[in-house]
Amino acid sequence: IFRGETVTLRCEIRGGGTEWTYEWSPVRLNYSPTSSEYKINKAHSGTFSCRGKGNHQFTQWTHYSLTVDEKDKDVTLKHSWSEIFRGETVTLRCEIRGGGGTEWTYEWSPVGLNYSPTSSEYKINKAHSGTFSCRGKGNHQFTQWTHYSLTVELITANKPKASLTVKDTIIPVGGSVALTCSVDIGEGWKIYWFRHSYGTARDMINNKPDGFLSVSEGGVYSCRGGRGDPVFYTETSTKVIIHETDPRPAASLSVNPDRVQHFRSESVTLSCEGNSAGWRV
């Protein structure tokens, strides 16, 4: 039984042809004190008792303990993160625990923002701070309102921005370098990576939700974070240029004698060498 529901108790005396009247306790809640039914318009936990009266004699008292569920419903955020940014889509969920097999519909306040007013979920397309409330309707009766205060993060006027870092911007021959992307504000971000090939449009590469990417190809890289449904994106990070090492070995030129100034009558020897065997000069 939920707080605020109407509950009817019934007192039955089996056997005998006596015409019974009834006495209930507590008396003040019952609008028809001699009836076999006891109606409680706003349910609350407690013990209720009845006895019958017939032929000027009373039966013994019979007791019934009524337990009302104090935590009948909750309004919660559908996602797990606590910071909400202006313009982000937010979904609230109204949950009614228990209630047996009752089929619930829902009512939300304020009504104007909800596109499906009888649904258990309430979607706010452009989040803003405020109080949102829900209640359930089942068996032609309403539960009490439950409220949720939503706070929208206003640390910055703009979207949060992703940060891209790299220890080394030169890829060694046959190797790779590691890129790291992070969003300092908020939680629940999935990372989206981009490679800007020289002279071509931006191209998204495989997503790496953990924020780490190993690259073995040169180019211009950037990243951004996204979360929710529909996805709310951060601002894109600053671009980072990654260079590849030239795989061709370099030649070395030496002069003998090794000095800056030479005279016309002198003999000078030039020597050109590579850094591996098998090369011709």
DSSP 8-state assignment for residue 102: -
Task: Identify whether 271 is part of a domain.
Answer: no
Looking at the fold, whether 144 and 209 belong to one and the same domain comes out as: no
- CA–CA distance, 257 with 73 (Å, rounded to integer): 93
Task: Identify whether 281 is part of a domain.
Answer: no
How far are the Cα atoms of 38, 45, 51, 67 from residue 48, in angstroms, in the given order?
9, 10, 11, 11
Task: Identify whether 268 is part of a domain.
Answer: no
Domain with 211 in it: what CATH number?
Answer: 2.60.40.10
Looking at the fold, whether 78 and 130 belong to one and the same domain comes out as: yes
Looking at the fold, whether 220 and 240 belong to one and the same domain comes out as: yes
Looking at the fold, whether 58 and 78 belong to one and the same domain comes out as: no
Per-residue pLDDT at 95: 78
Query: Where in the sequence is the domain holding 138, given as residue range(s)?
Result: 73-153
Looking at the fold, whether 140 and 189 belong to one and the same domain comes out as: no
β-strands 240-244, 170-171 pairing: parallel
Q: What is the pLDDT along the chain (281 residues), one digit of tens a residue?
A: 666 667 888 888 877 667 888 888 887 665 566 788 888 777 677 888 988 888 888 888 898 888 766 545 566 666 667 677 877 887 888 877 665 556 788 888 887 655 566 788 887 777 767 788 888 887 777 777 788 777 765 444 567 899 999 999 999 888 999 999 999 888 888 999 998 865 565 666 666 667 899 999 888 999 999 988 788 899 999 999 999 887 666 677 888 888 778 778 888 888 887 665 566 76
Per-residue pLDDT at 156: 46
Per-residue pLDDT at 247: 66
Task: Identify whether 86 is part of a domain.
Answer: yes
Looking at the fold, whether 51 and 15 belong to one and the same domain comes out as: yes
Domain boundary among 66, 87, 110: 66
Task: Identify whether 269 is part of a domain.
Answer: no
Domain boundary among 98, 133, 153: 153
191: phi then psi, degrees, rounded to nearest 5? -95, 135
Looking at the fold, whether 88 and 41 belong to one and the same domain comes out as: no
Task: Identify whether 254 is part of a domain.
Answer: no
Pair 18, 44: CB distance under 8 Å: no
Domain boundary among 127, 153, 179: 153
- CA–CA distance, 174 with 30 (Å, rounded to integer): 87
Task: Identify whether 95 is part of a domain.
Answer: yes
Task: Identify whether 90 is part of a domain.
Answer: yes
Pair 83, 153: CB distance under 8 Å: yes
Looking at the fold, whether 130 and 174 belong to one and the same domain comes out as: no
Number of domains in the chain: 3
Q: What is the CA radius of gyration of the chain?
A: 39
